[in-house]
Amino acid sequence: MSVSPPQPVPPRSVQKSLFIDSTPLLEDPMALRARAAEDGYLFFKQRLPVNEVLAVRADLLNVVRKHGWLQPGQDALGGLIDFDAINALTDEEMHRTDIGVSQEAYHDVQRLESFHRLPHHPRLLEIYRALFDGEVLVHPRHICRMITPHKFMVPTPPHQDFPYIQGSANTWTCWFPAGDCSREMGGLTVLKGSHKKGYLPVQPAKGAGGFAVPLCPTETTWVEGDYQAGDVLTFPSHTVHKALRSQFKDRIRLSLDVRYQAIDEPVDESSLNPHCPLKWEEIYADWKSDDLKYYWQKLPLNRSAWNHDFLKPGRRIC
């Protein structure tokens, strides 16, 4: 009896599709929640006022300029980077923040009132009130990604946000660029439907967060697109997502990661702390308004315990 030789395994074919604008579904919350449950993401075209996004961009770039990393001769919104100046930072200096700039510069970003105010915009809260069918907790722990052409930087690998956030699995990440962001600049892409598998084991990896979800051969349906200032992408904490690799060596990619959840669901204490070693009183020191200071302390929150097991490397069975 003859035995057939093993057949070669065909290469995995990545399927790419473009984001679908869910803005029309805001008038039909049940349809919005149905699409979210099926696709594991929602995209909203021009959801935020462009002028408000660009105002935050100008504040972020002013920090970059202050630290000497911008090419001279640009206006307040120009993001051309001095390659040699940014690469004068050591790998260790970059590793301390893992977001693209030094720790000192990131502290300056975290002190910006505009950076913390934009996530509370009514046009964002409208999305999550529709999704949660109730009141919304905006996590105060906002993250800014400032992806520069430093030799240390690598694209954020495929991962879920849940191991880093914990609390409610129905916590949603809102990602939006502070300015236009083409796919060539390294925008965010999501693995459609991946949230349905719940928590997935992690393995150590290079890039922001230090861990990645190993992908199965069938997980190939990535959704992506070119972002304009004002566009918003949002997804629950079990959706696998990653950053595309930037094709540019002379510019910075600025974006915000903001989290939202139903106000009565569990939240981990870490989500209520700054995304840096600064204390809240240090962040608030030069703010002109008091309305957003310690706002979550006035809310009846259901605080949960941190589970270290979610960030322990484990084997994934496809």
Question: 183-229: per-residue pLDDT in tens?
Answer: 999 999 999 999 999 999 999 998 888 999 999 999 999 999 999 99
Instruction: For residues 241 and 8, give the distance between their C-alpha atoms in angstroms, rounded to a whole number.
Output: 29
**Contact present, 156 and 205 (Cβ < 8 Å):** no
Instruction: For residues 43 and 41, give the distance between their C-alpha atoms in angstroms, rounded to a whole number.
Output: 7
Say how many C-beta atoms besides its own lie within 10 A of residue 30's C-beta. Answer: 10
pLDDT in the model for residue 6: 43
pLDDT in the model for residue 96: 85
Mean pLDDT of 2-14: 50
**Contact present, 48 and 121 (Cβ < 8 Å):** yes
Domain at 20-311, CATH class: mainly beta
Is the per-residue pLDDT at 9 higher than 80?
no
Instruction: For residues 227 and 181, give the distance between their C-alpha atoms in angstroms, rounded to a whole number.
Output: 5
pLDDT in the model for residue 74: 94
Instruction: For residues 296 and 294, give the distance between their C-alpha atoms in angstroms, rounded to a whole number.
Output: 6
Mean pLDDT of 14-37: 96
Mean pLDDT of 136-161: 95
pLDDT in the model for residue 12: 60
Instruction: For residues 97 and 202, give the distance between their C-alpha atoms in angstroms, rounded to a whole number.
Output: 21
Say how many C-beta atoms besides its own lie within 10 A of residue 89's C-beta. Answer: 18
231-243 pLDDT, tens digit per residue, is 999 999 999 999 9
pLDDT in the model for residue 187: 94
Query: What is the model's pTM?
Result: 0.94
Block residue for tokens 């959704």: 223
Mean pLDDT of the chain: 94
